[in-house]
Amino acid sequence: MAAAPPAAPPALATAASITPLRFQGAWSAKDIRHEYALGFAAKVREMTGGELRIEVLPAGAVVPASELLDAVSKGVLDGGHGTLDQHYARQHAFALWGCGPAFGMDANMLLAWHKYGGGRGLLEKAYAAIAANVVSFLSGPMPTQPLGWFRKPIATPDDLKGLRLRAIGMSAELYTALGAVTQPTPEPDIVAALKSNALDAAEFNNASADRALGLPQAASVCMLQSYHENAEPLELLFNKPKYEALPVQIKAVVANAVEAASADMSWKAVDRYSTDYSEMRRGRAVVFYKTPRAVLERQLRAWDALAKRKASENPLFAEILESQRQFAARAVRWDLDTNVDRRVAYLHYFSGPGDTNPAGKKP
């Protein structure tokens, strides 16, 4: 009697059986973060052999960026691409995935906490608390954001007092605690508001996005380094019923595409941000300064007071904060003790005027 043939491996669903998904991002089409969302969609298409296709629309194509979470939760959109602090108005605990000093963690370490330190379960708890019908994946560790774009250098913490400054979410509350008068100016209106003197300053995101937005033409000083958004990742959000309807093999591809896109985004950021930063320095229309330590220390004190108040009002905020603290206590210590100071090597090979980067000098 002939042996039965071995069972065939389960096949992926056919292209015809999976409806293409429609995503919208929180970014304009010219923003590099929109490009990151397109990169994720391309990886999903490639890794599924075209069986799952994701269309990514720019901000405002279907709903305003501020309504992205509700649109995905209700199924108006199949998914979205943004950041967690954009949901701050719904639940303040979302801000802890990006806003503040994160106990010294950078964004990649925050992602490590999210995957291996309990953050993912806490995020699911946060979404359950607001009855959001979504599945979230975090991807793309972003570098430290600048303190902002100004008309003149910020030399002391008091220089922030009274400035009309564009900021959103919990970051806005931190700037307010430092004495600024914050305004949640939408992205398309920031440059015009600076040029018309409706704003004195603005924080945005990164060298490439800031340059594409036109900030160098609206403000001549950029203060690098800040704790207001020191460790922020990006978020890929799926409508839960649409995600759960995907075949198990496709879900596995999505999860791996998230991590592949995250790695690619972090490498692309090094290339593109450094290129745009170099171009802005070369043009001499913008002067870059390192934010003075006194300003950073004032930020930390203001953040501690703000976070303490939020934690006393919101048990979930307190739970997330404590989880991050415990993870950072060992992870940041390991990082600081293990990794060599790259500035020593950089100055050895590329030292020149200004490269020592003291506070208040062009880096």
**227-283 tens-digit pLDDT:** 999 999 999 999 999 999 999 999 999 999 999 999 999 999 999 999 999 999 997
pLDDT band at 285 (very low <50, low <70, confident <90, very high): confident
What per-residue confidence (pLDDT) applies to 1?
43
For residues 89-98, average pLDDT: 97
Strand order in 21-25's β-sheet? Answer: 54-57, 21-25, 79-82, 233-239, 134-141
Please provide the average confidence, as pLDDT, over all residues in the chain. 93
For residues 107-134, average pLDDT: 98
Structure tokens that stand for 95 in this block: 């801000």
- pLDDT tens-place string over residues 22-40: 999 999 999 999 999 999 9
Query: What is the CB neighbour count within 10 angstroms for residue 222?
Result: 23
List domains and CATH numbers for the chain.
19-142+231-272 (3.40.190.170), 148-228+283-338 (3.40.190.10)
- 274: amino acid identity, one letter: S
pTM of the model: 0.91
- 124: amino acid identity, one letter: E
Q: Does pLDDT of 8 surpass 60?
A: no
Structure tokens that stand for 247 in this block: 């075949």
What per-residue confidence (pLDDT) applies to 98?
95
Helix axes 315-338, 293-313, angle to 10 degrees: 140
Give the Cα separation of 274 and 287 in Å (integer): 16
Structure tokens that stand for 153 in this block: 């250098």
- 351: amino acid identity, one letter: S
Whether 163 contacts 201, CB under 8 Å: yes
Strand order in 148-150's β-sheet? Answer: 181-183, 164-166, 201-202, 148-150, 221-224, 287-290
Q: Does pLDDT of 64 surpass 60?
A: yes
Give the Cα separation of 66 and 230 in Å (integer): 22
* Residue scoring higher pLDDT (75 or 4): 75
- pLDDT tens-place string over residues 97-110: 999 999 999 999 99
CB-count burial class (<10 Å; 0-12, 13-18, 19+) for 53: middle
For residues 206-212, average pLDDT: 97
Q: Does pLDDT of 9 surpass 50?
A: no
What per-residue confidence (pLDDT) applies to 17?
59
